[in-house]
Amino acid sequence: MADGRSWSYNRGVNKSKSTQMCRNTTFFCLTVSLPAPPQATCVQYRLVVRDVNTLQILHLYTCLDQIVHMEWSSDSLFILCAMYKRGLVQVWSLEQPDWYCKIDEGSIGLVSSRWSPDGRHILNTTEFHLRVTVWSLCTKAVSYIKYPKACQKGIDFSRDGCYMALAERRDCRDYVSVFVCDDWHLLRHFETETQDLAGVEWSPNGCVLAVWDSCLEYKVLLYSLDGRLLSTFSAYEWSLGIKSLAWSPSSQFLAIGSYDGKVRILNHITWKKVTEFDHPASINNTKAVVYKEVERKPVVGSADLSIQQHITMGSTLFNTQSKYEICPLPVQVPVVKPDLDRANPKVGVSSMAFSSDNRYLATKNDNMACVVWVWDMQRLGLLAVLEQTSAVRCFQWDPRRPRLALCTGNAKLYLWSPAGCVSVQVPAEGGFQVQSVTWHCSGDSLILLGKEQLCLCYMEVGEEEEEDDDVK
Amino acid sequence: SMSSLRQYSQSSVLPLPMTRNPYTMPTISAFCTEDNVSECISYINREVSSLGFPLLCTESNNGPELNLVAVLNNVYNLLQLHRRCLQTVEDIEVEQVKSNSNMDYLQLSNTRLKDQLELSKRENTGLLERERQLQLKVKSLHNCLKNEKEEVQKLQSIIASRATQYNHDMKRKEREFGKLKERLNQLLIDKKDKKQTFEVLNYVGRSDGKRSLWKTGKTEARHEGEMYKTLLNDYDSRHKDLLMENAELKKVLQQMKRDMVTILSPRKPKDEVCDSSRESLELSCEHAREQLTNSIRQQWRRLKSHVERLDSQASLVGERANMNAIPKEVHEEEMDRLKLEIQQYKDFIHTQQQLLQQQLNSPCDDETASLLNDCYMQEEKERLKEDWKSFEEKRKNFEAERRNFTEAAIRLSHERKAFEEDRATWLKHQFLNLTPFGDQMKPQMSKSQSALSGCK
């Protein structure tokens, strides 16, 4: 949908009045746009568009309410700003700053809003998932899609933007509808053999649709584009099932992460399991390299330091240096035993990502939240294990190269590549906590989102030197 | 007659032939005759008196006189005695019969008891065996029970987690339902229904610049067509990929087969390899594929046995390689010796030069001295030249030798290392790939699941 030369991120302050404690929560939402110089930031009610390289403000728009969700259109000409509370969506044009578009869903409410792949239609999901309204920016045509399902991932667009798969539920049965995004023509509509459909995802080549069941039943159904059931895969019964799913970029592999802490890889020819990756608590007998983050505590000086020095020392105390050490096998990975009495227990493989060259798969097992596992897809074996000092919040592969960036909520950025891994201190004042990491589509820069701050990190081509920019 | 009587009197027991039958009397004719009456009488008297009976005959003036009363008494006594003896014998005989029968009975009962004991022992071992089997069964049942209990626990925990999940989902749905009801109430009360509105300054063009088309049956058909085109393109490309992979794999297999054949029989003429050209033409044929895989399996088996043989030889070679270390030490010594020689030669040359200088510097009459010097010099020079030449040769030889030695040593160590590595990899392959063409194809060979296994 985007190969973004520019960025957009927004930050809003949400004062929730209903709770007794008045909490200020700030949040960022980041979307990558098409090749265009600008970068958009939202600050509360305002939408700020900046140039990515100079961070100079290009446009400034004001919305009617606090922006919850913001999205660039696929051709980077428009920005959608959604305000769920008011049920409003406002669209701004970058070519014509005085162009406006406002969609008010009225009493029917709004829970989610997104662009269609052609960048000219907006899909609004009403409250209670009553229906999906397709608004067009080109014509007066409005389409309604009934009975959308409220689940983990109910809508997915194919990568080429031609087709949309929508999960539906009517009469206590699950269905999938395939629409042609061109004119929203219903191409196929079929019932799925799921108990409670949890999500749909197109393969990157757009020919296969993966449909998976809720965690109460381990079941993945693979449908061809024309609605034929190609295969069903179920690893086991009764125990909690699928937690996450990821296609490899070449569509050759489908990785299924489940609550039993394993990732099962299916191949696209027979749809049978090729291998399964386990995340054991003690690692031995493997060719993998285990990197462990080790913090170097700064030496606190003696009492006769002046106050000024103490203050500067204080900020460095927050920012303890750390480096990676290679641990010899066998290694014991810290495991947090989850509370199994609660629903959606913190166990199982919750996030997986393939690198863009298909060679690597990064996974995270929730009961070993400090560890990221990197698997070699050629060898189908474990390649590296990164053990961090705190829980990994987010990891993402460079869109161009086999380089993984991750963050753990402290003021550091961690990078892994087959050559090794490095821990980079973010040179920010105070407690800058990196909550999430997003790559620019060229792979030349990274954006680090914190609670109230944002940091742009540029990668030097050749050497990995970073320059950081703070944007408040 | 006297002698026969004496014979009889000397023995305390009458040596008359005793027969078994106690009732037949022994012949008494031999004991007393007309001649030995008195001896008999005296003998009988002695015997009788020893038994406590009155004397048979007393001595009187007229000669021995038989006391008839005594004789009758004696006879009576003797008869009584005899009767008693017979009785005793009878009793004893009865006793003997009784004890014989007792013994028989005891023997019988003994054998019977032994048999019984044998039987009981066998029964006992049988029972012990049964008990052991039952113990085993009990243990296995315990294990089963433990497994079942674990299974039950696992299922219980699964049920518990499912129940929490269900409850959680139900609560979520209930909350949503509550919100829906509230909204519905609100809408009923609210009367004014805020409709959806869409405000836009002006409609924009499509991103691809084309004009949107009306939805007709033709567009539907077009969509279907495009969808199938996409699918077909995908299948085509996959088919092409698979064909390419197949061709590559077959090439690899054939190469492997050729290699294996050459390894196993390097001297044989390569007739079998010529088959490959034929095979390459018919590779798509099922029969040719089977042939290829079968021949590879065959070669692989041969190679495996060959490697096993090599492996057993490897240990021997390892020992032999150690022996080459000894000549190396000798070679070192040789080198030291040669170095010493060189040093000696150098010193020798140096002293020679010194002497030569001295010679030159020492005074002597000009011509002869100079001639002599020249001659000496010449001689010396010649000798030195030769020495130098030989020394140079020796040095060159030594250098060449040293080079050869070091090269040989290096080559040897390389060969050893290569051999060790080879052995390690073959062993590894052997262990890992015991059935290389079974149902599992190594994923290293191809990204996708093997097409070969699918074609079986």
ipTM of the complex in this document: 0.79
CB-CB neighbors (< 8 A) of A128 in chain B: 176, 179-180, 183
Q: Which of B176, B220, B454 sits opposite A128 (nearest CB)?
A: B176
Q: Is B216 on the interface with A (CB under 8 A)?
A: no
Q: What's the gap in Å between the CA of A100 and the closest CA on chain B?
A: 6
Note whether A70 and A42 are within 8 A (CB): yes
Q: Tell me the sheet residues that pair with A191.
A: A175
Backbone angles phi, psi at A356, to 5 degrees: -70, -20
Which chain A residues in 258-277 lie under 8 Å from chain B, judged by CB atoms?
A: 267-270, 272, 274-275
Which residue of chain A is at minimal alpha-carbon distance from B200? A101
Q: Is A128 on the interface with B (CB under 8 A)?
A: yes
Yes or no, beta carbons of B165 and A100 under 8 Å apart: no
Note whether A47 and A79 are within 8 A (CB): yes
CA distance A421 to A384: 10
CA distance A212 to B17: 125
- To test the contact with chain B by mutation, choose from A107, A181, A233 the residue with the greatest count of B C-beta atoms within 10 A, namely A107
CB-CB neighbors (< 8 A) of B205 in chain A: 138
Which chain A residues in 202-221 lie under 8 Å from chain B, judged by CB atoms?
A: 205-207, 215-216
Q: What's the gap in Å between the CA of A25 and the closest CA on chain B?
A: 24
Residue B6, pLDDT score: 56
The mean per-residue pLDDT over the stretch B38-63 comes to: 77
Beta carbons within 10 angstroms of residue A155's beta carbon: 20
Label residue A123 by pLDDT band (50, 70, 90): very high
CB-CB neighbors (< 8 A) of A93 in chain B: 204
Q: What is the largest CA-CA distance in chain A?
A: 78
The mean per-residue pLDDT over the stretch B340-344 comes to: 92
Q: Which of the pair, A163 or B258, is modelled with greater confidence? A: A163
Yes or no, beta carbons of B230 and A240 under 8 Å apart: no
Q: Is B187 on the interface with A (CB under 8 A)?
A: yes
Q: Which of the pair, A104 or A313, is modelled with greater confidence? A: A104
> Is A418 strand, coil or helix?
coil
Yes or no, beta carbons of B183 and A128 under 8 Å apart: yes
CA distance A16 to A336: 32
Q: What average pLDDT does the structure give for chain A?
A: 82
- To test the contact with chain A by mutation, choose from B151, B152, B157, B161 the residue with the greatest count of A C-beta atoms within 10 A, namely B161
Yes or no, beta carbons of B228 and A226 under 8 Å apart: yes
Q: What's the gap in Å between the CA of A292 and the closest CA on chain B?
A: 29
Label residue A38 by pLDDT band (50, 70, 90): low
Q: What's the gap in Å between the CA of A99 and the closest CA on chain B?
A: 6
CA distance A455 to B37: 165
Q: What is the pLDDT of residues A420-453, one digit of tens each?
A: 888 888 877 767 788 888 888 778 888 888 777 7
Q: Is A122 on the interface with B (CB under 8 A)?
A: no
Indicate the burial class of B164 (C-beta count within 10 angstroms; 0-12, 13-18, 19 or more). middle
Yes or no, beta carbons of A162 and B230 under 8 Å apart: yes
Which residue has tokens 């960022």? A28
Backbone angles phi, psi at A298, to 5 degrees: -70, 150
Q: What is the pLDDT of residues A5-21, one digit of tens each?
A: 333 433 333 322 221 21
> Is B43 strand, coil or helix?
helix
Residue B317, pLDDT score: 75
Among A294, A205, A195, residue whose Cα is nearest residue A250:
A205
Residue A14, pLDDT score: 30
Which residue of chain A is at minimal alpha-carbon distance from B242? A269
> Is B40 strand, coil or helix?
helix
- To test the contact with chain A by mutation, choose from B198, B244, B455 the residue with the greatest count of A C-beta atoms within 10 A, namely B198
CB-CB neighbors (< 8 A) of B202 in chain A: 99
Give me the count of residues in chain A: 472
Amino acid letter, residue B65: E
The DSSP call for residue A107 is: G
Whether A332 has a pLDDT exceeding 80, the answer reads: yes
Q: Is B447 on the interface with A (CB under 8 A)?
A: yes
Residue A2, pLDDT score: 32
Among A429, A344, A415, A345, residue whose Cα is nearest residue A386:
A415
Whether B193 has a pLDDT exceeding 70, the answer reads: yes
Q: What average pLDDT does the structure give for chain B?
A: 81
CA distance A468 to A426: 7
Which residue of chain A is at minimal alpha-carbon distance from B179? A128
Label residue B325 by pLDDT band (50, 70, 90): low
Which long-range contacts (C-beta less than 8 Å, at least 24 apart) are formed by B3-8?
B4/B30, B4/B36, B5/B36, B5/B39, B5/B40, B5/B43, B8/B43
Whether A204 has a pLDDT exceeding 70, the answer reads: yes
The mean per-residue pLDDT over the stretch B177-191 comes to: 86
Label residue A277 by pLDDT band (50, 70, 90): very high
> Is B453 strand, coil or helix?
helix
Share of chain A above pLDDT 90, in %: 48
Backbone angles phi, psi at A289, to 5 degrees: -100, 135
Could you tell me the two tokens for B314? Answer: 């490897």
CA distance B138 to B133: 8
The mean per-residue pLDDT over the stretch A95-111 comes to: 88
CA distance B60 to B67: 11
- To test the contact with chain A by mutation, choose from B447, B453, B455 the residue with the greatest count of A C-beta atoms within 10 A, namely B447
Could you tell me the two tokens for B450? Answer: 């093997």
Q: Is A337 on the interface with B (CB under 8 A)?
A: no
CA distance A394 to A392: 6
Whether A275 has a pLDDT exceeding 80, the answer reads: yes
Instruction: Count each helix (H run) and each strand (E run) in chain B, helices first.
Output: 9, 3
Yes or no, beta carbons of B207 and A239 under 8 Å apart: no
Residue B328, pLDDT score: 72
A343, B164, B205 from A339: Cα distances, Å: 9, 11, 54
CA distance B47 to B12: 9
Q: Where are the beta strands (DSSP E) in B78-179?
A: none
Q: Is B166 on the interface with A (CB under 8 A)?
A: yes
Q: Which of the pair, A28 or B154, is modelled with greater confidence? A: B154
The lowest-confidence range among A289-293, B207-211, B439-443 is B439-443
Cβ pairs A/B, distance under 8 A = 146
Yes or no, beta carbons of A207 and B204 under 8 Å apart: no
The mean per-residue pLDDT over the stretch B248-255 comes to: 89
The mean per-residue pLDDT over the stretch B197-218 comes to: 77
CA triple B223-B226-B227, angle to 5 deg: 85
Yes or no, beta carbons of A138 and B228 under 8 Å apart: no
